[in-house]
Amino acid sequence: MKKYVAEPFKIKMVETIKMTTREEREELLKKANYNVFALNSGDVYIDMLTDSGTGAMSDKQWAGMMTGDEAYAGARGFFELEDAVHEIFDYKFVQPVHQGRGAEKVLFPLIVKKGHYVISNMFFDTTRAHVELAGGKAMDLVCPEALDTKTYADFKGNMDLEKMKEFIEEVGKENIDAVVMTLTNNSAGGQPVSVANVKAASEIAKANGLKVIIDAARYAENSYFVKQREKGYENKSISEIVKETFSYADAFTMSAKKDAIVNMGGAIGVKDDEELFKAVKGMTIPYEGFVTYGGLAGRDLSALAIGLKEGINEDYLYYRIGQIEYLGDKLKEAGIPFQYPVGGHAVFLDAKALLPHIPYYEFPGQALACEMYLEAGVRCCDIGSYLLGVDPETGEQLESKMEFTRLAVPRRVYTQAHFDVIVEALKEIKKRASEMKGYRITWEPKVLRHFTAKLEPLK
């Protein structure tokens, strides 16, 4: 059993959280139309909705906020960010943007042609949406190990390289524009991708004239897993592993709200392609803002430059991943199914295994998320068919390969006792799992529906 790794920091500021009764939560969830995104965060006890933008910044990052340069053009924070990106990723060019989807919105239309494919180990929802908004078709080719939630594998986030070759052969390289490697693979359960896999996928891509882009939100957690699990990397520093991984790509899009531990921010990195970078800058100005701020305040840029480095600190990563492993081990002991091993940023509860009587079109992952709120005021979310949505051509509900309820862990925010509350809640839910009911959507928007759709419980 994994021992809890004590926090490698002291707490200097606290934020009070509210405790509610079950009756209150029943009322609140109903008012939110059974969509946890519509809950007021003040009514949430432990918020595991996302690890995105929810981390606690360090004293050094806050100091960076206080001394941030707010000039419109050429602010100091931009150069701090540039230095950090040169140092950590060894990329020549960086464009700040307001968050990950800002990076996708700027970069993908420059790369994706109408009707063409973009291949990925697995797209996250916003990257998929931006490929589709640019007129492209998104294709997931994750390795089969990802689908077997019960069996351990070191790198469940990997691209299926054989399938990748077959797919290129089948549709023709002239109909494909790029390969996106998502590190870690969020939709598969925050699962890591090996350096060998990134390298091999990149070689196949290059041989077929395809660009390689890394979706870099969790660059540090992925590299930590590589150090733990991949042969030949045990004695390398996280920094060396990050550099090697990124050397196989042409560019990255990054949501800096995850491993770079800022509450808002993102970036596009371009290794050395000056023409591409010029085009990126051209698209940034109308969409995000002038090139040296890209939708961020000067102080945000300073905090981001510092956060990028704190994210790869090994003591921090040992604690960070240790925290998730602690939660995973407790759940395993209690017989609660989840994507095993745990990911870098979250435990992905296997709602399909816990609620086998609820079919995908009644959203087992969403049902479990609602139940967690009712039981203990814990907010988490569906990463399954409810999130996946409908086929854009036929309008039919798609079936997700996996039905997860994700407990995403904010960075440097919660302690051991919070994790124990979650474990106790799940033990209670497991006792009455067979009586739980699915949900029905009563209203949904066209894209990224899970954020705003309305639902009702089935009788």
* Spatial contact of 311 and 220, defined as CB atoms under 8 Å apart: yes
Q: Does 368 sit near ligand P70 (CB under 6 A)?
A: no
Site for ligand P70 in 415-434 (CB under 6 A): none
The DSSP bridge partners found for residue 178 are 118, 211
Rule CB under 6 A: say whether 129 interacts with ligand P70: no
Could you say whether residue 35 binds ligand P70 (CB under 6 A)?
A: no
Whether 329 sits among the annotated catalytic residues: the reply is: no
For the residues of 294-357, what is the DSSP string, one character each? TTS-HHHHHHHHHHHHHTT-HHHHHHHHHHHHHHHHHHHHTT--B-SS--SSEEEEEHHHH-TT
Give the sign of the dihedral formed by CA 218, CA 192, CA 403, CA 422: negative
Pick the catalytic residue: 43, 215, 250, 259?
A: 215
* One residue of 120, 158, 182, 197 binding ligand P70 per CB under 6 A: 182
Specify the DSSP element, H or E, that contains 392.
none
Instruction: Give 403's strand partners.
Output: none
Place of tokens 């494919």: 117
The residue annotated as part of the active site, out of 116, 130, 258, 271, is 258
> Which phi and psi angles does 17 have, rounded to 5°?
-120, 150
- How many amino acids of this chain bind ligand P70 (CB under 6 A)? 18
Site string for ligand P70, 87-126 (x = CB under 6 A): ------------xxx----------------------x-x
43 given a catalytic annotation: no
The residue among 168 and 217 lying less far from ligand P70, judged by its C-beta, is 217
Told to check if 455 binds ligand P70 by CB under 6 A, we report: no
Minimum distance from residue 20 beta carbon to ligand P70 (Å): 21
State in Å, rounded, how far the first CA of the chain is from the last one: 40
- Which residue of 157, 266, 337, 344 would you call a contact of ligand P70, by CB under 6 A? 266
Question: Which residue's entry shows tokens 């995104």?
Answer: 37
Going edge to edge, which strands form the sheet with 93-97? 93-97, 266-270, 251-255, 211-215, 176-182, 117-120, 137-140
Q: According to CB under 6 A, which one of 127, 197, 222, 239 is a site residue for ligand P70?
A: 127
Q: Which of 259, 363, 450, 453 is catalytic?
A: 450
348 is an active site residue: no
Residue nearest to ligand P70 (CB): 100
Closest CA relative to residue 156, chosen from 141, 166, 144: 144
Verify whether residue 258 is a known catalytic residue: yes
- Asked about 450 being catalytic, the answer comes back as yes
Q: Which of 32, 129, 261, 381 binds ligand P70 (CB under 6 A)?
A: 381
Contact (Cβ atoms closer than 8 angstroms) between residue 379 and residue 47: yes
Taking CB under 6 A as the criterion, which residues in 196-255 touch ligand P70? Answer: 215, 217, 255
| Residues identified as active-site | 72, 124-125, 215, 217, 258, 450
Binding residues for ligand P70, rule: CB under 6 A, are 49-50, 52, 99-101, 124, 126-127, 182, 186, 215, 217, 255, 257, 266, 381, 408
